[in-house]
Amino acid sequence: GESVGLHLPTLSVQEGDNSIINCAYSNSASDYFIWYKQESGKGPQFIIDIRSNMDKRQGQRVTVLLNKTVKHLSLQIAATQPGDSAVYFCAEIGTGTASKLTFGTGTRLQVTL
Amino acid sequence: NAGVMQNPRHLVRRRGQEARLRCSPMKGHSHVYWYRQLPEEGLKFMVYLQKENIIDESGMPKERFSAEFPKEGPSILRIQQVVRGDSAAYFCASSPVTGDYEQYFGPGTRLTVT
């Protein structure tokens, strides 16, 4: 039968390759951005964050890039591992929004062996 | 140092019954947020509370839903007279301060309305 609801875009990557997950945001007043990883049946887990006065931030195996001109955020995962398989969400906090997170649609990352 | 705790993890209710979802924030955190997630979708903000105060409830449905965070005890999200459309995963997050800071999420409560 026909499925109802939004299907998450899926990115398939071979183990050991680099992954790039993209996110577009709409609120130009947003000043704080977070990437979350969500495994099946679990709550979102913090990966990395970036403030609007930065355009790049690096963590362990992950890098977040922020392009405020085109309102685009990306998450780069180096040497992708099977344990990276999950759904990845970007989230933003806008000025004056009392700290509530606005989540993007999400991207499912599938790591193949 | 325990993380955010939610219970129950799974809750089944018949249409018309009440659902109570509990959230204990991380130790030292006084800011609690509730989010709802439908299958294959992102989380949607519902309400933001501090101890004994509702700060922002702009994401809460106008009827049947309420939230509290008493001086003592966990935060409670209450859904009265549940309907099938309330079936979702409900996540609680907490943070130590307001503003641009990481929110730590609990494991969620999966509500199924039959």
Which residue do the tokens 């026909």 mark?
A2
Question: Average pLDDT for residues A41-45, to the nearest whole number?
Answer: 92
Residues A7, B40: contact at Cβ < 8 Å?
yes
Pick the residue of A95, A101, A105, A107 with the most B CBs within 10 A to test the interface with B by mutation.
A101
Task: Say if residue A45's pLDDT is above 70.
Answer: yes
Alpha-carbon distance A71 to A75, whole Å? 14
Alpha-carbon distance A103 to B53, whole Å? 24
**Coil, strand or helix at A63:** strand
Question: Would the CB atoms of A45 and B105 count as touching at under 8 Å?
Answer: yes
Alpha-carbon distance A73 to A93, whole Å? 13
pLDDT attached to residue A95: 65
Alpha-carbon distance B16 to A107, whole Å? 35
Q: Is B34 on the interface with A (CB under 8 A)?
A: no
| Tokens (6 digits) for A31 | 């000043």
> Could you tell me how far CA A107 lies from the centroid of its own chain?
7
| Chain A partners within 8 Å of B31 (Cβ) | 99
Q: Which residue of A has its CA nearest to B5?
A: A43
Question: Would the CB atoms of A44 and B91 count as touching at under 8 Å?
Answer: yes
Sorted by sequence, the CB contacts under 8 Å of residue B31 that are 6+ apart come out as: A99, B25, B48, B49, B50, B94, B95, B96, B97, B98
Mean pLDDT (chain A, rounded)? 88
| Chain A partners within 8 Å of B4 (Cβ) | 43
| Chain A partners within 8 Å of B23 (Cβ) | none
Q: To the nearest 10°, the Cα dihedral for A57, A100, A86, A75? A: -20
Per-residue pLDDT of chain B (114 residues; tens, 9 = 90+): 579 999 999 999 999 999 999 999 999 888 999 999 988 788 999 999 998 899 999 999 999 999 999 999 999 999 999 999 999 999 999 988 766 577 899 999 999 999
pLDDT attached to residue A98: 59
Between the CA of residue A23 and those of A26, A34, A43, A59, what are the distances in Å?
Answer: 10, 11, 20, 18
Closest Cβ opposite residue B42 in set A5, A45, A89:
A89
Give per-residue pLDDT as tens, A46-73. 999 999 999 999 999 999 999 999 999 9
Which residue do the tokens 């939230």 mark?
B67
